[in-house]
Amino acid sequence: MSLPTTARAIADAVCRREHSAVAFAEAALDALQRTEPKIGAFLTPLPDLARAAAVHVDRAIAQGRHLPLAGVPIALKDNLCVEGTRTTCGSRILENWVAPYTATAVERLLAAGAVPIGKTNLDEFAMGSSCENSALGVTCNPWDAGRVPGGSSGGSAAAVAAGVAPLSLGSDTGGSIREPAAFCGIVGFKPSYGRISRYGLIAFASSLDQIGPFARNVEDAALAYDIMAGKDPHDATTVDQSAEATAAALPEDLRGVRVGIAREFDLKELDSNVRAVYEQAYRDLERLGAELVEVKLPSAEYGLATYYLIAPAEASSNLARFDGVRYGLRVEGRDMRETYDRTRAAGFGAEVKRRILIGTYALSSGYYDAYYVRAQKARTLISADFARAFERCDVLACPAASSPAFAFKAKADPYSMYLMDYYTIPMSLAGLPSLSVPCGYVSTEGGKPLPLGLELTGSLFAERKLLAAAHAYERGTRHIERHRPEVFA
């Protein structure tokens, strides 16, 4: 049996009892088996858990229950805890650690009938933009195996792009959902900070981290979002206002929508083929009824510098817990101090060490005000820019990344990798809901199509407006239907 490409189609078929959740689980596990040798999206497939969950769903459906994600196979980034399963963060330090509880976001999807088929690869502790920083596996882009899937949620993006699961979860701190979604030609959605509980998401930078879905269309992403969003007593940063349902009423056009184009995200710097795709995307927005408005984000160019102080500072604090005592790896020394030093030296990869060092430095005595506090102040200016821009527009549009997926090892210099998040970081600093939706393709020299993503961003907690605009754009362009990746289940 072949797997329908959308979550909605699967859930409908299971609820109508045309197919069983067990049959869809087997189809997804089979797709995983077939594609894994080529893309390596998964660190830990979960066939037993998938089958047990599917049986449970079929039983619930037989008892007359309605489940909005009945039988929908999902893939989960391996920084999300699932009780009784290995949860590694792509790191040696947690290589054999088994999570003692399940993340709230995951639990809500499972309660809605989703079937977890595996844990996916990521840059170690979600630090990276290509998945190359994973200590535990290599993930290839389904469109071209010589290229990265993006990161840090690269495994979750590749699994959906390759048709293994219609839905997956990632986490986004500075672009880790939107950039891989763009590179893999699918939808990736980071909701507002505070919308989705982070209980059970292993922390990277706590004032920025947010969980979100990957899907093959906006409707599925909205569906998953509606189920996950809302207050959780286990995460005090979740907002009280109950999330308004977004998936039920998605419009077909953009009439009356003002789309802001920021001067600072000028397309001139881009490769001419890439630029042409984005120029067409802006024309398409207009064709579909949107009014394009020029806005200013003068502080956005400071986003990267701000982010690369704040995120490492928070990471250096969060990752202090990996000390060889309570979790995972221990490399024993003569005393506790030496045990800390050796465990962390052996357990963390180069990028994680770099960020811990930057963060520790930025927070250290004598430098705290000059670096960390200064970055927090710049963050205020960046947020204020967005607030002003949203007085003049409903959503902002810009590229999700400056290029399509790049080749392995192309960004050997750490800073060149950091630049990949140029278009996604400012929105993260302001906590805004933001997504990437497929907007066209460029060709490799060998003639393979490589997808590009349009980043649309809404004002804080305006997910409904954002998803509505993205849905209308997607319906009016249908880029995902034009090409299939080289590796597809």
Partner 1 sequence: MASEQINIAHVAQLARLALTPDETIRFGKQLGSLLEHVRVLQSLPLDDVPATAQVIPSRNEMREDDVRPSLRREVVLAGAPVSEGVYIRVPRILGEDA
Q: Which of 273, 361, 448, 484 binds partner 1 (CB under 8 A)?
A: 361
H or E segment and range at residue 205? none
* Part in contact with partner 1 (CB under 8 A); list of ranges 153-161, 394-402, 424-432, 474-482: 424-432
- 363 HSE (CA, 13 A, CB side): 16
The position carrying tokens 């049986």 is 55
User: 486: which DSSP letter?
Assistant: S
Q: Name the minimum Å distance from CB 84 to partner 1.
A: 9
Annotated catalytic residue, options 77, 119, 190, 411:
77
Which residues, 434 to 453, sit near partner 1 by CB under 8 A?
none
Over the window 117 to 146, marking each residue x when it contacts partner 1 by CB under 8 A and - when it does not, the resulting string is ------------------------------
Active site residue 353: no
Does position 357 interact with partner 1 (CB under 8 A)? The reply is: yes
Compute the distance between CA of residue 246 and CA of residue 223 in angstroms, rounded to an integer: 7
Does position 368 interact with partner 1 (CB under 8 A)? The reply is: no
Compute the distance between CA of residue 234 and CA of residue 130 in angstroms, rounded to an integer: 31
Cβ atoms of 312 and 304 within 8 Å: the answer is: no
Q: Name the minimum Å distance from CB 196 to partner 1.
A: 13
Q: Name the minimum Å distance from CB 145 to partner 1.
A: 29
Q: Identify the three-state secondary structure at position 147.
A: strand
Judged by beta carbon, residue 233 or residue 447, the one nearer partner 1 is 233
Does position 354 interact with partner 1 (CB under 8 A)? The reply is: yes
* Part in contact with partner 1 (CB under 8 A); list of ranges 16-24, 70-78, 332-340, 439-447: 332-340
* Part in contact with partner 1 (CB under 8 A); list of ranges 71-79, 167-175, 308-316, 443-451: 308-316
Which residues, 89 to 118, sit near partner 1 by CB under 8 A?
97-98, 100-101
Annotated catalytic residue, options 91, 129, 134, 152:
152
The position carrying tokens 């599917």 is 54
Q: Name the minimum Å distance from CB 343 to partner 1.
A: 8
Judged by beta carbon, residue 248 or residue 370, the one nearer partner 1 is 370
Using alpha carbons only, give the angle 424, 432, 312 rounded to the nearest 5 degrees. 55
Does position 402 interact with partner 1 (CB under 8 A)? The reply is: no
Does position 409 interact with partner 1 (CB under 8 A)? The reply is: no
Cα 449 to Cα 39, 97, 218, 486, distances in angstroms: 17, 39, 22, 9
DSSP letter for each residue of 357-383: HHHHHHHSTTTIIIIIIHHHHHHHHHH
Cβ atoms of 343 and 416 within 8 Å: the answer is: no
Does position 315 interact with partner 1 (CB under 8 A)? The reply is: no
Q: Which of 327, 368, 408, 488 binds partner 1 (CB under 8 A)?
A: 327
The position carrying tokens 């990028």 is 351
Cβ atoms of 290 and 252 within 8 Å: the answer is: no
The position carrying tokens 């882009």 is 141
Q: Name the minimum Å distance from CB 330 to partner 1.
A: 4
Compute the distance between CA of residue 340 and CA of residue 347 in angstroms, rounded to an integer: 10
Q: Which of 323, 385, 394, 474 binds partner 1 (CB under 8 A)?
A: 323
Compute the distance between CA of residue 89 and CA of residue 97 in angstroms, rounded to an integer: 10
Does position 316 interact with partner 1 (CB under 8 A)? The reply is: yes
Q: Name the minimum Å distance from CB 358 to partner 1.
A: 6
Does position 380 interact with partner 1 (CB under 8 A)? The reply is: yes
Compute the distance between CA of residue 400 and CA of residue 426 in angstroms, rounded to an integer: 12
**Pairing mode, strands 167-172 and 258-262:** unpaired
Q: Which of 255, 377, 478, 482 binds partner 1 (CB under 8 A)?
A: 377
Annotated catalytic residue, options 168, 176, 299, 436:
176
Does position 457 interact with partner 1 (CB under 8 A)? The reply is: no
Q: Which of 266, 370, 388, 392 binds partner 1 (CB under 8 A)?
A: 370
Does position 371 interact with partner 1 (CB under 8 A)? The reply is: yes
Active site residue 176: yes
DSSP letter for each residue of 404-428: SPPBTTTT-SHHHHHGGGTTTHHHH
- 314 HSE (CA, 13 A, CB side): 21
Tell me which residues are annotated as active site.
77, 152, 176
